[in-house]
A and B are shown apart, each in its own frame.
Chain A
Amino acid sequence: MEISGSLNAIGYGLSAIGGGIGVGLVFAAFIQGVARQPEAQRVLQPLAFMGLAFTEALAILGLVFAFVWKL
């Protein structure tokens, strides 16, 4: 059996695992915080999106490198 194609897609998939788990953790904490203290939502929301932005950096790098580095 012969499999052909680019390994880059698999690499991107691997790099998305960490980012996916991290984003899940960030929003789980955000939802928990809001559920415990609903009036804190305005304070927590930008923080949650900031956490999202920092966490997905690696997955984004993975996507870009998957396109850029043709091996």
Chain B
Amino acid sequence: MIALALPTAAEGGTFTPPGLEDLHLPDILPWGAEYGTGFGKQMLLVILTVVLVSWFLVAASRRRAMVPGKFQFLGEWTYTFVRNSIGRDMLGEREFKKYTPLLVSLFLFVLLSNMMGSIPFLQIPTTSHVGTAYALAGIVYVYWIYLGFKTHGVKYFKVSVVPSGVPKAFLIPVVLIEIVSTFLVRPMTHSLRLFATMLSGHMIIALTGAAMAYMFTSLGQWWGYPLGSLIFIGGLAMFLFEIFIQVLQAYVFTLLTAVYIQTSISDAH
């Protein structure tokens, strides 16, 4: 759809696809604007997300009944899903209970942050700004290093970077690769995966929207209307696909958190 739109758009000469600059929305707080308050729409949405998640968890567990109502069922189902299919399967029967609160709150926060991209009028995933993703992955990064030191003591340096069963001749390059991949690439990809998928999804939606608006309003040719309708169908399909990606990325983010915790509390490398 987009490929169809681009040549005609170039022909018209006025179509400018939305770029990265469109993600940097103006600050909401007016004072101190010349320094950049940094308090934009995304910050507001982060606060809204925290409030909504807290409200959901508190309200779903306030009136506990033996036979749960719909709302309590939703809360319990979410909790059970994260606890069983992420926590228990990854961390093992013995350990998973300690880390369930972290996993559940991370999952709900990331899920709702991503979902902000699909709610009308809010329409921007807070995780499409790299700062949110860095903060989330940073918390997890500090936490699993702390857990490693707590479990192994100073030996954690050796446990984390020296794989067992490597011949002595290969030890130096293998250890170097392990250091880079564990302590540099791991937190980077953990945060950038979430950020990049949300950013590209948001850009695709914005691009189809802008292309459709251009086709309908400012092209001025009769074939703008069928072409715009085609773009609308493609954009709708991408929108639905985007919802799927948002849920999947929240799942993957929490799953990787569990995996990293597991690698630092397990004995063997």
**A26 within 8 A of partner (CB):** no
Contact B252 A53 (CB under 8 A): yes
Closest Cβ–Cβ distance, residue B182 to chain A (whole Å): 12
Task: Map CB proximity to A onto B222-254 as digits: 1 under 8 Å, 0 otherwise.
Answer: 000000000000000000000000000001100
Task: Map CB proximity to A onto B188-208 as digits: 1 under 8 Å, 0 otherwise.
Answer: 110011011101100000000
**A63 within 8 A of partner (CB):** yes
Contact of B189 among A45, A61, A67 (CB under 8 A): A61
Q: A42-B89, A60-B189, A64-B196 are in contact. Are A49 and B252 (CB under 8 A)?
A: yes
Contact A57 B193 (CB under 8 A): yes
Chain B binding surface, main DSSP class: helix
List chain B residues, Cβ under 8 A from A63: 196, 200
**B185 within 8 A of partner (CB):** yes
Q: A53-B255, A67-B20 are in contact. Are A46 and B89 (CB under 8 A)?
A: yes
List chain A residues, Cβ under 8 A from B110: none
List chain B residues, Cβ under 8 A from A61: 188-189, 192
CB neighbors of B among A36-61 (8 A)? 42-43, 45-46, 49-50, 52-53, 56-57, 60-61
List chain A residues, Cβ under 8 A from B252: 49, 52-53
A-side interface residues, number (CB < 8 Å): 15
Report the contact-size class of chain B (Cβ under 8 Å from the partner).
Answer: 20 to 34
Task: Map CB proximity to A onto B11-47 as digits: 1 under 8 Å, 0 otherwise.
Answer: 0000000001000000000000000000000000000
In the bound complex, what is the Cα–Cα distance between A67 and B192 (angstroms)?
12
Closest Cβ–Cβ distance, residue B190 to chain A (whole Å): 9
Q: A46-B90, A49-B252, A50-B255 are in contact. Are A57 and B185 (CB under 8 A)?
A: yes
In the bound complex, what is the Cα–Cα distance between A52 and B251 (angstroms)?
12
**B85 within 8 A of partner (CB):** yes
Q: Which of B90, B188, B189 has the most CB of A within 10 A?
A: B189
**Which of A's residues lie within 8 Å of B, judged by CB?**
42-43, 45-46, 49-50, 52-53, 56-57, 60-61, 63-64, 67
